[in-house]
């Protein structure tokens, strides 16, 4: 695949590499700086593996004070900094560049406070998403955002990309469940935004930080909302003879004012891939599958499902299969949450992340199929249908440059299709490198300039995650 553009490395920084490494070794405890070439290789990319750059060094601080010390040093000498959580970014958000110091937060993995009276948890940025729910589950609580990578992805990365997950339909994405952060600014200043209260006074800077992809500062701690577990939950499988019928069914469910906790979509290729991996009991004779989960009391779930099944019947539903046990429910979700990994067993793929209005789902599904066919590729569609967050997995051979180029071009066309249908470039993966050069398809120049002005207010030198989000051409001079 043709290498996407990065900002040219700063010659002055590269010339001082040995000196910089020595200074960072003095700033950090033993074992907290990676600088040998072979040891830097695991940090050269993230889950968006098409592009690679070996960084200058990788700092692995254990405290906010150590993050601040490294940031202050890099700011003083104009050294680019790339924040990194677990490296699960699917848009290239954590890919470094040759003159950059990566600040990885994997050692900052402690849960600092659980406050059931205020229904909050305060955690370091390197805590995994799932670890929060695991910690509070025995007391009847959970943390709602649940990306498919929740076993590995960290809260810091979730905040950077404003991650969602299957249950975001009812409970919202990260920004709806984030109450406060401790953050290190580019010059090493440590600030706190928000806290345990439901709302904070002053400007909503927390709302700007969430989804900023590490370009405004590095979040080291977060206070998140805890939610009481529902009385019960029940996933149901709905099989259809076409993706268009399934998409139209989703739009009508939401249009009827029914809000399940989740509505997930799979087309026939995705069904086969996930079933082969998980043995979840997915039907093999349908073209599209919806996983609809409802929750509440038995009466509430029965009433909601009765209405949903009636809507599904109007769209020619072929299979309706309710989970009959907690084990079966867990298998259903195992299949869905394993979709990306299961697909990786059979082919290389690019995972797209466009979001569209629900009424446009049938149109965009048809358009996606046409784009894939035109480029001679294959696709497995699996996505959060309830909020229109599409994740077509474009299958290709990474060892074939022409095949890879076709896959990348098809992905760009699908994202443009989403925008043209009234949607946007990203629902939860972020812009990163992948969609950076499509930003002008969604935003007018005046909009981009305003966004860049906000970014520059936090980081005038543009040293924080500098090759990401905004097109390289047309940026203000640092």
Instruction: Return d(Cα 337, Cα 262) in angstroms, integer.
Output: 13
- The pLDDT, as a whole number, for residue 6 is 84
Longest dimension (CA), the chain: 69
- The pLDDT, as a whole number, for residue 199 is 83
**Residue in the block written with tokens 């789902």:** 361
Give the residues of the chain that fall short of pLDDT 70: 1-4, 478
- The pLDDT, as a whole number, for residue 4 is 67
- The pLDDT, as a whole number, for residue 386 is 87
Question: For residue 287, how many other CB atoms are within 10 A of its CB?
Answer: 17
DSSP state for residue 306 in the 8-state scheme: H
Instruction: Return d(Cα 380, Cα 392) in angstroms, integer.
Output: 6
β strands within 93-230, DSSP E: 101-104, 111-115, 120-124, 141-142, 178-184, 190-194, 218-225, 227-228
Among residues 414, 457, 456, which one has the least CA distance to residue 435?
A: 414
Local structure of 225: helix, strand or coil: strand
Instruction: Return d(Cα 289, Cα 266) in angstroms, integer.
Output: 5
Sorted by sequence, the CB contacts under 8 Å of residue 10 that are 6+ apart come out as 78, 79, 80, 99
Q: Which helix (H) or strand (E) holds 322?
A: strand 319-322
Domains and CATH numbers, the chain: 111-228 (3.30.465.10), 233-340 (3.30.70.2190), 347-420 (3.30.70.2740)
- The pLDDT, as a whole number, for residue 76 is 97
Q: Where do the H-state alpha helices sit in 126-267?
A: 129-136, 155-161, 168-171, 174-177, 205-209, 243-255
The DSSP result for 325-391, as a single string, is SHHHHHHHHHHHHTHHHHHHTT-EEEE---B--GGGHHHHHHHHHHHHHHTT-EEEEEEEGGGTB--
Do the beta carbons of residue 364 and residue 149 sit within 8 Å? no
* Burial of 272 (C-beta count, 10 Å sphere; 0-12/13-18/19+): middle
Local structure of 169: helix, strand or coil: helix
Do the beta carbons of residue 390 and residue 354 sit within 8 Å? yes
DSSP state for residue 87 in the 8-state scheme: S
Sorted by sequence, the CB contacts under 8 Å of residue 433 that are 6+ apart come out as 4, 48, 51, 91, 92, 93, 95, 467, 468
Q: Which helix (H) or strand (E) holds 452?
A: helix 445-458
């Amino acid at each position: 695949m043709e290498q996407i553009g990065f900002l040219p490395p700063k010659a002055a920084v590269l010339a001082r590499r040995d000196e910089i490494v020595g200074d960072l070794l003095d700033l950090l405890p033993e074992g907290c700086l990676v600088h040998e070439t072979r040891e830097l290789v695991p940090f050269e990319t993230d889950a968006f593996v098409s592009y690679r750059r070996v960084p200058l060094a990788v700092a692995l601080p254990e405290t906010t004070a150590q993050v601040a010390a490294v940031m202050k040093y890099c700011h003083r000498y104009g050294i680019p900094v790339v924040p990194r959580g677990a490296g699960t970014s699917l848009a290239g958000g954590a890919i470094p560049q040759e003159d950059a110091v990566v600040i990885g937060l994997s050692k900052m993995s402690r849960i600092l406070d659980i406050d059931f009276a205020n229904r909050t948890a305060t955690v370091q940025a390197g805590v995994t998403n799932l670890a929060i729910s695991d910690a509070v589950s025995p007391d009847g609580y959970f943390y709602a955002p649940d990306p498919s990578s929740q076993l590995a992805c960290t809260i810091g990365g979730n905040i950077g990309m404003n991650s969602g997950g299957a249950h975001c339909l009812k409970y919202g994405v990260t920004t709806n469940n984030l109450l406060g952060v401790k953050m290190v600014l580019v010059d090493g200043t440590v600030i706190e935004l928000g806290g345990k209260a439901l709302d904070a006074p002053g400007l909503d800077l927390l709302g700007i930080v969430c989804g900023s992809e590490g370009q405004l500062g590095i979040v080291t701690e977060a206070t998140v909302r805890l939610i009481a577990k529902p009385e019960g939950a029940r996933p149901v499988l709905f099989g259809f003879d076409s993706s268009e019928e399934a998409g139209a069914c989703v739009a009508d469910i939401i249009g009827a004012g029914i809000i399940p906790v989740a509505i997930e979509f799979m087309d026939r290729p995705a069904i086969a891939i996930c079933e082969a991996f998980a043995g979840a009991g997915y039907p093999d004779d349908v073209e599209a599958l919806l996983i609809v989960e409802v929750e509440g009391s038995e009466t509430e779930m029965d009433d909601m499902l009765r209405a949903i099944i009636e809507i599904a019947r109007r769209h020619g539903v072929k299979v309706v299969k309710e989970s009959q046990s907690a084990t079966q429910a867990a298998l259903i979700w195992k299949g869905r949450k394993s979709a990306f990994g299961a697909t990786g067993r059979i082919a290389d793929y690019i995972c797209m992340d466009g979001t569209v209005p629900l009424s446009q789902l049938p149109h965009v599904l048809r358009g996606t199929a046409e784009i894939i066919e035109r480029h001679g590729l294959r696709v497995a569609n699996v996505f959060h249908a309830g909020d229109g967050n599409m994740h077509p997995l474009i299958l290709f051979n990474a060892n074939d440059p022409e095949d890879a180029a076709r896959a990348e071009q098809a992905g760009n066309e699908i994202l443009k299709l989403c925008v043209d249908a009234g949607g946007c470039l990203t629902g939860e993966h972020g812009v990163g490198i992948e969609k950076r050069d499509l930003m002008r398809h969604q935003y007018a120049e005046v909009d981009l300039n305003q966004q860049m002005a906000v970014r520059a207010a936090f980081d005038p030198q543009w040293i924080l995650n500098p090759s990401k989000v905004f097109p390289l051409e047309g940026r203000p001079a640092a």
